């Protein structure tokens, strides 16, 4: 049964009371309004409210939050360090160095207070007497408005507002200054000011300015130098120029006088400082050694891809994130690689006609020096300098100076950017910068770390990195991977391959393709080792056919060389790749077939020192301890997947050692250490290559024109590229132990006849590279076997000793005594094994 509730009673007394109260207030208001004083007071309050609303709408609305300055981080450049932790490059569009308040000398702080804001530590953000004076001056002057900004107001303008000149901005400055004073301490405000103020020469902050104007840090500055820096906020471009030295000294001396008036310096200090000249240094570079320009540019590209270029991309951007990047660049190897490649380019270029290949500058007016400086063209080779031909036997430089040009090629015209070298007092001679290009990479084969990159003659002439960006045909340097595929598909280093004419039908569209060796001839049946050592094209093509070209291209992909179609021409290096990829592939051979990723960056830290890349980076605690603590040494697990059979990789390396000992790179044999490598020469020839190294260091390079054309018939990998590697390796490996390449477990090393590939008993390999007997590497159950019958043993035992000695001497392998010992050992072993092995 539903219960029906009676409707609630609505009280009517509330509305009655409200109505009565309102009527009483209206009656009272009418009474007050009759008073003139009340009416005036009401108008005044209303006007103030309206004025406040208008003021807020015009000035205070949408102002930045002053609290943001508490967490403010200056845009700082990214600094790159080498493998030793030494900075060698920075990415910056502005000079910036951030310091803590305690790092600023007290005298320097006083100099800025004297010049900009003497009452900084006593006012609340606004200098009211100064503002009144400025308003009065600006009302009765037609000149640009004079400001009376405090340091706090300047911080507000520099960090939170625009740089416009108007009273509106001044009002906004004042509002923000009060807010900043409430949010930050005086020391925090002063730190922001001294770190952010623009002081000319692309310098922001006093530390950067001290380096730019005096080549010193702030803690090394003298009093007169500190006073000079304090005058720069007013007009940095004026006072920072040598032609305005008189005005700068006058302003500096005024600052010194203000410091004395505030008793921040003594009279003696004042007089001594005023007597000093400005002492400005000429415009300076970054202060870093010019090492690894191409390396640094490749690091920059990787960082931009990861973190972005400007602060809009995130907090770790390259040009404002303040990153500290530890790279793998070895400065010693970088210098050696740079010099070796440059010397090789110059050797090739020697005797060729001079060409204007550095650029042109308009020299029709007096602004040629500024235009030349903006081109940023420079040369860091020996004592060479980059200049611009001015005509009439004169050469000009980026700093505006001129000198006499001693002669010059007939092809040179006014405006050509040229390379010159000193040739007497204030006289220079023209030098030829090679038109041919090239790239070189040095890598650690155990972890993939890239130790050096040189992408051309000079990165300030051309920033195009030929070591990482140039797509070139590798030629014969790709052959080891063809033979590796053949080894994985049933062949051995002693397999016989015919070095003779070979043609293949490629289909109706491509027709018949016939291959040839570099010298056009053929040598008949030869071992795989011989074919690789002598770089025989026909043998390589036959090996690729036997192994299956699809398997060969699979190997190329697995070794990260390139993704090519299954055509035999790619077995001879017809596909495009880069020096970096090829060097990395050879490093994987040394790494026993385990995958490597070439890396230039070990780790990146943010401005507070936290490692932000790679994400799983962990420090190796105790790795650099001077003393062993008795605990187990750290061991790093092998990284990367196995992309090639380790024994196959070693077999290829072992055969490539023969390339050094008696093959196309025999010029490297005099280095007298375990080395492997391969030369390469592409059709034309348009490119010449060499890639190789030791168990601990792999390097590779190529030479060729940027727009491929014939280098000349005499140019080959063995005659042009290998000597460049030789120059590098002689110095880079001088202190390295002569460590042999280590064979992986399961490798069978067997004595074979070098020419026939047959197994040898009774003779041993010697030190002579031309020895008939060598050690050859085989996989289990693939080495040559023999079956010896008892009558053969008996017949061998009855041979005269003299005949045995004669045969031994004729073979030229070893001396007679060693052969006798070897034969006896073989006989004993065969007897124990029942005559079969």
Phi, psi torsion values for 577, nearest 5 degrees? -155, -175
List residues bridging with 601 in a β-sheet: 327
Most confidently modeled of 145-154, 277-286, 382-391?
A: 382-391
pLDDT at 744: 96
pLDDT of 811 strictly over 50: no
Note the pLDDT of residue 14: 56
Judge whether 560 counts as a catalytic residue: no
pLDDT at 520 over 80: no
Percent pLDDT > 70 in the chain is 83
Contact 160, 189 (CB under 8 A): no
DSSP class per residue in 622-674: TTT-SS--SSPPP-PPP-S-B-S-HHHHHHHHHHHHHHHHHSTTGGGGGG-S-
The pLDDT assigned to 164 comes to 59
| Better-predicted residue by pLDDT, 762 or 672 | 672
For 41, 339, 584, the CA distances from 580, given in Å and listed in that order, are: 84, 19, 6
Please tell me the predicted confidence (pLDDT) of residue 420: 95
For residues 136-144, give the mean pLDDT.
Answer: 55
Which stretch of 97-111, 556-570, 785-799 has the lowest confidence by average pLDDT? 785-799
Each residue's pLDDT tens digit, 241-262: 878 899 999 999 999 999 999 9
Distance CA 205, CA 233 (A): 10
Question: How much is the pLDDT for 600?
Answer: 97
What is the chain's mean pLDDT, rounded? 85
Alpha-carbon distance 80 to 611, whole Å? Answer: 14
Return the pLDDT at 327. 97
Name the nearest CA neighbour of 426 among 399, 401, 404, 458.
404
798 — pLDDT class (breaks 50, 70, 90): low
Q: Of the residues 90, 116, 149, 258, which is catalytic?
A: 116
752-763 pLDDT, tens digit per residue, is 999 999 999 989
Q: Which of 750, 599, 583, 756 is nearest to 676 (CA)?
A: 583
- The pLDDT value recorded for residue 441 is 98
Is it the case that residue 620 has pLDDT exceeding 50?
Answer: yes
Per-residue pLDDT tens digits for 353-379: 999 999 999 999 989 998 998 888 989
pLDDT given at position 408: 84
Flag whether pLDDT at 809 surpasses 60. Answer: no
pTM of the model: 0.81
Report pLDDT for 698. 98
pLDDT tens string 145-161 = 445 678 887 877 776 55
To the query of whether residue 808 is one of the catalytic residues in this protein, the response is no
Over pLDDT 90: what percentage of the chain?
A: 58
CA distance 107 to 221: 10
Residue 78 has pLDDT above 60, yes or no: yes
Confidence of residue 792 (pLDDT cuts 50, 70, 90): very low
Pick from 139-153, 261-275, 324-338, 596-610: least confident = 139-153
CA distance 730 to 595: 28
Largest CA distance in the chain: 152
pLDDT(220) > 90:
yes
Kindly name the residue from 90, 149, 462, 476 that is annotated as catalytic: 476
Predicted local confidence at residue 9, as pLDDT:
56
């Amino acid at each position: 049964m539903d219960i029906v509730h009676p409707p609630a009673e609505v009280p009517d007394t509330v509305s009655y009371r409200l109505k009565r109260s309102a009527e009483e207030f209206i009656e009272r208001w009418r009474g007050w309004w009759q008073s003139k004083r009340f009416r005036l007071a009401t108008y005044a309050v209303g006007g103030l409210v309206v004025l406040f609303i208008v003021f807020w709408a015009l000035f205070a609305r949408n102002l930045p939050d002053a609290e943001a300055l508490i967490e403010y981080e200056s845009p700082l450049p990214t600094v790159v360090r080498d493998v030793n932790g030494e900075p060698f490059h920075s990415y910056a569009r502005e000079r910036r160095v951030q310091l803590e308040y305690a790092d600023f000398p007290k005298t320097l702080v006083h100099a800025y207070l004297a010049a900009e804001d003497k009452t900084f530590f006593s006012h609340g953000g606004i200098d009211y007497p100064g503002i009144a004076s400025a308003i009065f001056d600006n009302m009765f002057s037609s000149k640009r408005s004079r400001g009376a900004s405090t340091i706090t107001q300047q911080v507000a303008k520099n960090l939170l507002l625009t740089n416009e000149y108007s009273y509106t901005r001044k009002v906004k400055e004042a509002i923000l200054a009060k807010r900043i004073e409430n949010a930050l301490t005086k020391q925090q405000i002063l730190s922001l000011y001294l770190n952010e103020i623009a002081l000319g020469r692309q310098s922001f902050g006093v530390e950067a300015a001290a380096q730019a104007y005096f080549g010193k840090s702030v803690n090394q500055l003298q009093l007169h130098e500190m006073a000079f820096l304090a005058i720069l906020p007013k007009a940095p471009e004026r006072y920072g120029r040598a032609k305005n030295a008189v005005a700068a000294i006058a302003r500096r001396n005024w600052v010194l006088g203000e410091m004395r008036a505030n008793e921040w310096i003594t009279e003696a200090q004042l007089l001594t400082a005023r007597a000093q000249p400005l002492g400005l240094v000429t415009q300076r570079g970054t202060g870093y050694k010019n090492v690894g320009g191409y390396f640094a540019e490749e690091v920059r590209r990787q960082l931009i891809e990861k973190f972005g270029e400007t602060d809009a991309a995130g907090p770790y951007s390259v040009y404002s994130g303040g990153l500290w990047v530890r790279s793998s660049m070895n400065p010693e190897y970088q210098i050696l690689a740079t010099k070796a490649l440059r010397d090789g380019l110059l050797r090739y270029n020697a005797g060729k006609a001079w060409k204007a290949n550095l650029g042109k500058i308009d020299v029709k007016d007096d602004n040629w020096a500024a235009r030349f400086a903006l081109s940023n063209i420079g040369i860091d080779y020996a004592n060479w300098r980059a200049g611009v031909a001015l005509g009439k036997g004169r050469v000009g430089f980026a700093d505006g100076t001129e000198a006499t040009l001693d002669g010059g090629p007939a092809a040179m015209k006014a405006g050509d950017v040229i390379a010159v070298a000193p040739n007497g007092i204030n006289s220079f001679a023209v030098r030829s910068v090679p038109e041919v290009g090239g790239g070189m990479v040095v890598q650690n084969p155990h972890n993939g770390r890239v130790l050096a990159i040189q992408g051309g003659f000079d990165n300030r002439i051309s920033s195009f990195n030929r070591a990482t960006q140039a797509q070139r045909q590798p030629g014969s340097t790709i052959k080891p991977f063809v033979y590796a595929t053949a080894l994985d598909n049933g062949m051995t280093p002693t397999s016989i391959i015919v070095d003779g004419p070979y043609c293949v039908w490629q289909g109706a569209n491509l027709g018949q393709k016939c291959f040839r060796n570099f010298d056009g001839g053929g040598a008949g049946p030869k071992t795989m080792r011989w074919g690789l050592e002598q770089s025989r094209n026909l043998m390589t093509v036959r090996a690729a056919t036997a192994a299956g070209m699809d398997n060969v291209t699979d190997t190329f992909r697995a070794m990260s060389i390139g993704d090519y179609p299954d055509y035999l021409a790619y077995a001879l290096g017809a596909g495009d790749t880069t020096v970096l990829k090829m060097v990395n592939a050879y490093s994987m051979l040394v790494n026993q077939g385990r995958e490597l990723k070439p890396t230039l960056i070990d780790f990146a830290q943010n401005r507070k020192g936290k490692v932000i890349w790679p994400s799983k980076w962990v420090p190796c605690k105790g790795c650099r301890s001077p003393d062993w603590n008795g605990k187990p040494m750290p061991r790093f697990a092998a990284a990367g997947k196995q992309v090639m059979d380790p024994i196959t990789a070693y077999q290829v390396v072992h055969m490539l050692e023969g390339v050094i000992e008696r093959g196309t790179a025999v010029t490297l044999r005099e280095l007298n250490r375990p080395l492997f490598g391969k030369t390469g020469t592409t059709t034309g020839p348009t490119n010449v290559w060499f890639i190789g190294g030791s168990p601990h260091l792999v390097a590779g390079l190529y030479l060729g024109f940027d727009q491929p054309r014939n280098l000349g018939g005499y140019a080959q990998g063995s005659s042009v590229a290998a000597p460049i590697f030789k120059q590098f390796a002689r110095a880079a490996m001088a202190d390295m132990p002569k460590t042999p390449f280590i064979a992986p477990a399961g490798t069978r090393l067997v004595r074979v006849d070098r020419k026939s590939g047959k197994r040898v008993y009774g003779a041993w390999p010697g030190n002579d590279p031309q020895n008939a007997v060598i050690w050859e590497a085989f996989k289990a159950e693939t080495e040559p076997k023999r079956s010896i019958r008892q009558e053969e043993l008996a017949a061998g035992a009855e041979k005269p000793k003299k005949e045995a000695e004669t045969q031994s001497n004729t073979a030229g392998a070893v001396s007679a005594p060693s052969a006798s010992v070897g034969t006896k050992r073989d006989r004993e072993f065969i007897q124990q094994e029942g005559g079969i092995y």
